């Protein structure tokens, strides 16, 4: 609702001056190819005409976002409201229903070939689309009459911006014009994002309309506790009694502003719910920004290992008692042996996880740089096998020496880095322009999945170890197309998961399997794994309330900590 006297009031500022009619001025600017920063409910979007290649190129250049997909907003049109969406994408029934929910999330949809410039989502066959979620957006899209790009109004990786003055200062070099309103945004909230995996849409990011997310716990917490969350895709959580509240998406804690918003959200959750935390939980990695906050908080601090938190987050949606097998596959996280995990199979339950399977470890030359430079992961696999690497760099001799002596070359078992290596070996992505580009491009390049054998799985000192060694020959095959090589890799990874599950069932008698970690955002891998597991008689648990990625870590930290003796859980009868 709006009132001519009381507001909300709109103001438009452009390079050519201020418009008398802010709405008309904004629409005219968009039609002329301008980039406009528009204030919404939870923050600002950077908006431009999705069909204007010059505007898209300018947006990418100014925001220094050369390849990351850009979200779209389509006007309501047609009997069911989705006619405009269907001009650029092909939603199925469940995706269509999700688009129309009051939360108005971004939903990743199959793109219509040739409907939009390649610059919207380079190298990908999906586009993220949402519908207008506020009266202002409805008015703008109705007047504009087409689909626009509506990407977060921030610097890449940082939380969304909410203040007019700050927006004009921080992204004034990106936007040509600004559309402000005078309603204060008290709590920032980025857009929620969903992708169909395992036969239904599942959250990848919880934001506007979906968070703070309130969850009923199947046990009683002895005292209020706050969880600082992960370093990447950070959220925080507050738990008390039998309640847990997960914050909206904050982002990666790599900048001073992200850390400031992290502190603000922790304080705001406690103020909003009138609960004062008596202790805090953080990741066991001491160098994470979230861990450093915990150490400075003045609260009693407990640490939880990254993959234990991943596994325990599953217990929120699947609280049935009894041990189970959880595959925690992601980038990297500190393990209880001091190495970087990421390809783990855990057995047990919250507070009592035991690692029963892993992948053959390898040393990452350059450490954290490998996440942005997949060629380093490919190099690592080649060197581990004493093979001549395909990747070349000017500093190869120095890099090899550092790798051999373990200088900035931590040992890891991370499946996320194995996917990076596969993408680089396939010639797709050697240097990633955004987080996750390499596995996303590998998935998009894959043809139909064949039946393919597991990578070898052997037992070493009581633990199952999957060996990726045959990957190099698979990816180097001159007899197979890129699509065939990518498909074979996905199929072999799913078969490896099944092999570990079947071997663990024989040893441990466990029949319930959970999937967690960012790798399971990959639809090809996850759908094939679920299909094979269910055909083998396993009960499969894949979260649909919480994201499968690091956004669920804070919730898992509270659950994992709650089941340790120090917290004193009172279980539900």
Taking only the tens place, the pLDDT of each residue in 320-343 is 878 999 999 999 999 999 999 999
The bridge status of strand 193-197 relative to strand 106-110 is parallel
In a domain, residue 245? The reply is: yes
- Is residue 201 situated within a structural domain? no
Same domain, 27 and 90: yes
Looking at per-residue pLDDT, the higher value among 394 and 314 belongs to 314
| Residue 285: exposure state from Cβ atoms within 10 A (0-12, 13-18, ≥19) | middle
Residues 333 and 300 in one domain: no
Phi then psi for 214, rounded to 5 degrees? -95, 130
Would you tell me how many other CB atoms lie within 10 Å of the CB of residue 6? 8
pLDDT score for 572: 46
Tell me, yes or no, whether 140 lies in a domain: yes
Q: Which of 135-144, 216-225, 451-460 has the lowest mean pLDDT?
A: 216-225
What is the total count of domains within the chain? 3
Q: Are residues 391 and 248 in the same domain?
A: no
How, if at all, do strands 72-73 and 126-130 pair? parallel
- 394 in Cβ contact with 388 (< 8 Å): no
Q: Are residues 365 and 477 in the same domain?
A: yes
Asked whether 491 and 451 are in contact (CB, 8 A), the reply is yes
Continuous H helices in 64-172: 83-86, 93-99, 135-144, 164-170
> To 5 degrees, how large is the angle CA 200–CA 203–CA 208?
130
Q: Is the pLDDT of residue 344 over 90?
A: yes
- Give the other-Cβ count within 10 Å of 61's Cβ: 11
Nearest to 131 by CA among 73, 209, 79, 87: 73
Residue 298 CB coordination number (10 Å): 8
Give the pLDDT confidence score for residue 1 in this predicted structure. 56
Asked if residue 341 lies in contact with residue 359, where contact means CB atoms within 8 angstroms, the answer is no
C-alpha 366/C-alpha 250 separation (Å) is: 27
Q: CB neighbours (10 Å) of residue 296? A: 10
Q: Are strands 72-73 and 148-152 parallel, antiparallel or unpaired?
A: antiparallel
Residue 3 within any structural domain of the chain: no
% of the chain beyond a pLDDT of 90: 87
165 and 222 inside one domain? no
Look at the block and give the residue holding tokens 């890891």. 412
Res. 569: pLDDT tops 70: no
Q: Burial of 560 by CB count in 10 Å (0-12 exposed, 13-18 middle, 19+ buried)?
A: buried
| Residue whose tokens read 């219509």 | 112
Name which of 280, 104, 245 is nearest 546 in CA terms.
245
Specify whether the CB–CB gap between 363 and 409 falls below 8 A.
Answer: yes
Judgement on whether residues 270 and 371 belong to the same structural domain of the protein: no
Quote the pLDDT of residue 566.
Answer: 47
Residue 458 is predicted with a pLDDT of 98
Q: Is residue 73 classed exposed, middle or buried when 0-12, 13-18 and 19+ CB atoms within 10 A define those classes?
A: buried
Predicted local confidence at residue 5, as pLDDT: 78
Q: Could you say which of 191, 222, 237 is where a domain stops?
A: 191
In tens, the pLDDT along 177-235 reads 999 999 999 888 999 999 999 999 999 999 999 999 999 998 899 999 999 999 999 99
Q: pLDDT category, 567, cuts 50, 70, 90?
A: very low
pLDDT at 393 over 70: no
Residue 547 lies in a domain: no
C-alpha–C-alpha distance, residues 145 and 149, integer Å:
13
| CB 185, CB 248: distance < 8 Å | no
Residue 393 to residues 374, 389, 416, 422, 432, Cα–Cα distance (Å):
13, 10, 23, 19, 16
Cα separation, 449 vs 471, in Å, equals: 16
Q: Give the end of a domain, one of 160, 191, 222.
A: 191
Residue located via tokens 């070898």: 456
Residue 473 CA to residue 458 CA, distance in Å, equals: 20
Give tens-digit pLDDT for 31-52.
999 999 999 999 999 999 999 9
Among the listed residues 288, 407, 411, the one whose alpha carbon sits nearest the alpha carbon of residue 342: 411
Spatial CA neighbour of 334 closest among 349, 345, 344: 344
Q: Are residues 497 and 559 in the same domain?
A: no
pLDDT at 7: 79
Residue 5 lies in a domain: no
Residue given tokens 């999705």 in the structure block: 50
251 and 325 in a common domain: no
Q: How confident is the model at residue 94 (pLDDT cuts 50, 70, 90)?
A: very high
Q: Give the largest Cα separation in the chain, rounded.
A: 75
330 part of a folded domain: yes
**Average pLDDT of every residue of the chain:** 94
Residue that finishes a domain, picked among 162, 191, 220: 191
- Does one domain contain both 498 and 355? yes
User: Beta-carbon neighbour count of residue 275 at 10 Å?
Assistant: 18
Q: How many CB atoms lie within 10 A of CB 81?
A: 16
Question: 497: domain CATH number?
Answer: 3.30.420.40
State the average pLDDT over residues 280-289: 96
> What burial letters (b/e) apply to 125-138, b meaning 16+ CB within 10 Å?
ebbbbbbbbbebbe
Query: Does pLDDT of 16 surpass 70?
Result: no
Which pLDDT belongs to residue 38?
98
Domain that holds residue 176: 10-55+63-191
> pTM for this one?
0.94
Give the pLDDT band (50/70/90) at residue 17.
low
Residue whose C-alpha is closest to residue 192's, from 237, 231, 160, 147 = 160
Q: Is the pLDDT of residue 370 over 60?
A: yes
Q: Do 200 and 219 contact (CB within 8 A), yes or no? A: no
CATH, residue 217: 3.30.420.360
Q: Are residues 228 and 106 part of one domain?
A: no
Residue at 199 is within a domain: no
C-alpha 329: how far from chain center? 13
Residues 317 and 297 both lie in one domain: no
Give the Cα-Cα-Cα angle 233, 234, 235 (nearest 5 degrees). 125
Q: Do 373 and 260 share a structural domain?
A: no
């Amino acid at each position: 609702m709006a009132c001519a006297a009381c507001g909300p009031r709109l103001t438009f500022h452009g390079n050519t001056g201020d418009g008398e009619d802010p709405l008309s001025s904004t629409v005219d600017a968009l039609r002329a190819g301008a980039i406009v920063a528009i204030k919404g409910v939870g923050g600002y979007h950077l908006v431009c005409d999705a069909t204007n290649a010059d505007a898209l190129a300018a947006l990418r250049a100014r925001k220094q976002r050369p390849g990351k997909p850009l979200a779209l907003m389509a006007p309501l049109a047609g009997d069911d409201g989705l006619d405009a969406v269907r001009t650029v994408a092909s939603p199925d029934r469940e995706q269509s229903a999700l688009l129309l929910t009051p939360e108005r999330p971004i939903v990743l949809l199959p793109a219509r070939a040739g409907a939009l410039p390649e610059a919207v989502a380079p190298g990908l066959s999906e586009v993220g689309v949402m519908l207008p979620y506020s009266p202002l957006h409805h008015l703008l899209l109705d007047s504009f009459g087409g689909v626009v790009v509506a990407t977060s109004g921030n610097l890449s990786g940082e939380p969304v911006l909410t203040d007019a003055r700050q927006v004009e200062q921080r992204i004034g070099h990106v936007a040509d014009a600004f559309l402000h309103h005078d309603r204060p945004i008290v709590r920032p909230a980025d857009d929620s994002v969903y992708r169909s995996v395992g036969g239904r849409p599942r959250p990848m990011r919880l934001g506007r309309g979906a968070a703070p997310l309130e969850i009923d716990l199947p046990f009683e917490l002895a005292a209020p506790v706050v969880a600082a969350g992960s370093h990447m895709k950070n959220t925080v959580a507050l738990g008390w009694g039998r309640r847990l509240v997960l914050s909206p998406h904050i982002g990666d804690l790599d900048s001073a502003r992200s850390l400031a918003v992290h502190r603000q959200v922790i304080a705001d959750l406690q103020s909003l719910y009138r609960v004062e935390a008596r202790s805090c939980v953080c990741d066991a990695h001491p160098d994470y920004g979230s861990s450093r906050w915990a150490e400075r908080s003045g609260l009693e601090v407990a640490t939880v290992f990254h993959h234990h938190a991943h596994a325990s987050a599953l217990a929120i949606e699947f609280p049935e008692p009894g041990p189970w097998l959880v595959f925690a596959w992601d980038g990297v996280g500190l393990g209880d042996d001091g190495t970087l995990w990421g390809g783990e199979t855990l057995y047990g339950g919250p507070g009592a996880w035991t690692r029963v399977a892993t992948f053959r470890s390898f040393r990452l030359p350059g450490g954290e740089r490998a996440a942005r430079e997949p060629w380093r992961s490919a190099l690592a696999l080649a060197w581990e096998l004493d093979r001549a690497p395909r990747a070349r760099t000017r500093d190869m001799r120095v890099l090899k020496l550092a790798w051999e002596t373990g200088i900035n070359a931590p040992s890891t078992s991370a499946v996320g880095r194995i996917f990076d290596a596969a993408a680089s070996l396939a010639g797709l992505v050697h240097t990633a322009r955004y987080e996750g580009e390499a596995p996303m491009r590998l998935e998009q390049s894959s043809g139909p999945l064949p039946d393919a054998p597991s990578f070898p799985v052997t037992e070493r000192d009581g633990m199952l170890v999957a060996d990726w060694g045959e990957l190099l020959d698979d990816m180097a095959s001159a007899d197979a197309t890129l699509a065939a090589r990518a498909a074979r890799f996905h199929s072999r990874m799913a078969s490896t998961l099944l092999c570990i599950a079947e071997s663990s069932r024989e040893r441990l008698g466990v029949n319930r399997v959970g999937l967690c970690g960012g790798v399971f955002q990959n639809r090809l891998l996850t759908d094939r794994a679920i299909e094979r597991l269910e055909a083998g008689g396993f009960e499969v648990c894949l979260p649909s309330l919480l994201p499968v990625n690091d956004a669920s870590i804070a919730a898992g930290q509270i659950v994992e900590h709650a089941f340790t003796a120090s917290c004193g859980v009172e279980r539900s009868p």
